[in-house]
A and B are shown apart, each in its own frame.
Chain A
Amino acid sequence: MSAATLPGRRSATAGRALRKWSLPGHFVLAIIAVLTYVPAYFMIDNALRSGPAMQASPFALATEPKWHNFSLAWQASSFAYPGTIFIVVVSVVGIAITTLASAYAFARLRFREKEIWFYTVFGLLLIPGFITLIPLYVQMSDMGLIGTRWGLILPYLAGGQALGVVVLRSAIEAIPEELFEAAKIDGAGHAWMFFSVAVPLSMPLVIALALLNVVGLWGDYVLPSLILQGDSSTVSVAITSFTPPPMTPNLDSYNVQLAAFSIASVPIAVLVLVMMKYFVSGLSQSAVKL
């Protein structure tokens, strides 16, 4: 695990001093976990059932799966996937590159107004998204970007900066000075130190943040519902405003919607499972705080 090279990692658990607690710990965690997973179970289970069956017994297992729900759901929402994937990928990769560069500058470069600029970025954490929602909508319409993917990507790029820069700055600051010194002796400039030391060593955290961004943007609702409508909707908006095709009995429309959401969570599920290692250890390794 590349994470092993990150500083601050403790090979042994601090909790070792507190051994005896494990069994009740597992038990309580299991109960909380079951409760936490109820929505996931409900979504997948009822995506495979009919409306009346769900009303009669909401948590009963789908013994005769109605796969038809899934084909209806896919027919109604598949159009939104290519556009949404494009938006999310461009935004997340863009956020990763730009925040890494700024975090490096704040962590390693010497320039006079450093703290002022840092707090300019940090301050965005305190400016909640709602305050810019409406002016952003107006601005996008002034710029002619309503109905276009860039109308969503540009605000997403900006919105991902604050948390990324703050978190990555502390991660890069925690990289041992000797690693940079070694590169400096070899005559490396900042560009080289950035690519050969800072980027690889903060990768687990970058991936964790990227994953967090993917999840957030994939499920985002309010801004996409304002910027992109109708045929260009994002997946989550398309499904939320889902109206069943004329021939479907209306009784099942909620279940078809759940089926559509189940399909929409597959790409995220695959990504989270593949990247779990980075996500769980990346965020856990550097103590993020105020």
Chain B
Amino acid sequence: MAGSTTVVATERRPAATVRPQRRRSVRRLVLERLAAVAFLLPTLALIGVFSYYPAVRAGVTAFTRWDGFNPPVWVGVQNFTQAFGDPDFLRSAVNVAIWTLFGVPLAMVPSFVVAELIFRLRSDRAQFVWRAVFVAPLIIPPVVSILIWQFLYGPNGPINTVLHSVGLGELARSWIADPKFALWALIFLGFPWVSSFNVLIFYSGLKAIPREVIEASALEGAGRFRQLVHIELPLIAGQWKLLLVLSIIGVTQNLTVPLLLTNGGPGNATLTPVLYMYQRAIDYGQYGFGMAVGTLLFVVVLALSIINMRVLRTRS
């Protein structure tokens, strides 16, 4: 990917015309390089020290036994084999697979529906107002919605009250304390799952579709559904891809919800690999083992992201 773009960039350079002023253009290129260094240095220094270094360190620590204080001891792949032999870890992997399978569509589809509905409104003003309406819920701190759902799911919470009042009292339970329902309760949390950011991304994609394309298809007699399927969906594939990658990462690294709500319980019904990593490292001081779990998860997420980017090629 990177290689091909560079080739294009060099081809664009008008080699023949600069020859008489070669020295000046060389000087300009040097200056341009210096400018590039100056412009890029803060970003590269920051991500080098505080993103890549800890990431690499995580990968190296994964092959050691380390308590965070004493010097790490190299143990090879022992942490990894130990993880795969641990039923808790395997359960956490199954949990996160289920969560991803259901959570990722929930993170994307409702936001797309809202964006599409707004996009099809007649007046620009109405479009602006509705976008504002769906952006404003940003102000609610994420921790609050966790606390609220904790109350909604409680044994005396409103969900059970409703069940009792419609005569389904035997279904009432403490939703996040029931091993059969806890994981589903966490997945359902956040209903109706409209994300401000995702709505705006989808909307921007729809907005960028050339007007003529849609008008032409309308003239040809394409119905709204056919326009949606044949024009809008393919033309915003780039947005779907971006949000798919971000949603997979978001769901798999969602630590706050299980940490605050269930801490992985009851039993290990809501244990996820990230929480498992956190507990092992922070609560038990097994940094090496925790990092091995983190590395495994990272490899899986990266593979999913790459597959996603390969399979869903952007048509342009």
Chain A positions within 8 Å of B, measured between CB atoms, are 8, 10, 12-19, 21-22, 25-26, 28-29, 32-33, 35-37, 39-40, 42-43, 54-55, 58-59, 97-99, 101-102, 104-105, 109-112, 114-121, 124-139, 154-155, 157-159, 161-162, 165, 189-191, 194, 212, 215, 218-219, 221-222, 226, 236, 239-240, 254, 257-258, 261, 264-265, 268-269, 272-273, 276, 279-281, 283-290
Contacts and interface: CB of A to CB of B under 8 A. Distances in A.
Contacts of B260: 221, 240
Contact of B218 (A17, A112, A114, A289): A17
B43 A33 contact: no
B256 interface: yes
29 contacts: A16-B122, A22-B121, A35-B192, A39-B148, A99-B43, A102-B40, A117-B40, A124-B51, A126-B249, A128-B249, A128-B298, A130-B294, A134-B58, A134-B290, A134-B291, A135-B61, A154-B46, A157-B50, A158-B49, A159-B51, A165-B43, A221-B142, A261-B143, A261-B144, A276-B132, A283-B200, A284-B131, A287-B205, A288-B239
Residue of A18, A19, A226, A269 contacting most chain B CB atoms (<10 Å): A18
B55 A59 contact: no
Given A105-B40, A126-B302, A139-B57, A265 B139 contact: yes
Nearest to A285: B204
Contact of A289 (B29, B157, B205, B305): B205
A134 B208 contact: no
Residue of B40, B68, B147, B297 contacting most chain A CB atoms (<10 Å): B40
Contacts of B210: 14
Contact of B141 (A159, A261, A276): A261
Nearest to B156: A55
B71 to A, nearest CB: 13
A138 B55 CA distance: 12
B95 interface: no
Given A32-B192, A109-B36, A128-B253, 13 more contacts: A14-B215, A26-B121, A114-B9, A125-B249, A126-B301, A132-B54, A136-B54, A157-B50, A194-B39, A268-B138, A280-B135, A286-B204, A288-B204
B120 interface: yes
Contacts of B83: none
B47 interface: yes
Nearest to B192: A35
Contacts of B140: 39-40, 43, 265
6 interchain residue pairs of minimum CB distance? A289-B238, A158-B50, A105-B39, A135-B54, A287-B208, A115-B2
B282 A226 contact: yes
Contacts of A14: 119, 206-207, 209-211, 214-215
B5 A115 contact: yes
B63 to A, nearest CB: 14
Contacts of B94: none
A239 B296 CA distance: 34
A264 B133 contact: no
Given A14-B214, A121-B47, A132-B51, A219 B2 contact: no
A95 to B, nearest CB: 9
B93 interface: no
Interface in B87-140: 110, 113-114, 117-124, 126-128, 130-140
Determine the main DSSP class of A at the interface with B: helix
Contacts of A127: 51, 55, 298
A135 to B, nearest CB: 4
A287 B202 CA distance: 9
Residue of A36, A121, A265, A285 contacting most chain B CB atoms (<10 Å): A36
Contacts of B209: 14
Interface residues of B, number: 118
B117 A236 contact: no
Contact of B32 (A33, A111, A126): A111
Contacts of A32: 110, 113-114, 192, 194
Nearest to B244: A290
Contacts of A239: 143
A121 B277 CA distance: 26
Contacts of A290: 238, 241-242, 245, 309, 314
A68 B191 CA distance: 31
Contact of A131 (B136, B148, B152, B294): B294
B256 A222 contact: yes
Residue of A42, A212, A285 contacting most chain B CB atoms (<10 Å): A42
B108 to A, nearest CB: 14
Given A35-B192, A127-B55, A134-B287, A287 B314 contact: no
A289 B242 contact: yes
B185 interface: no
Interface in B53-99: 53-55, 57-58, 61, 68
Contacts of A114: 6, 9, 36
A98 B210 CA distance: 33
Nearest to A99: B43
Contacts of B120: 15, 18, 21-22, 25
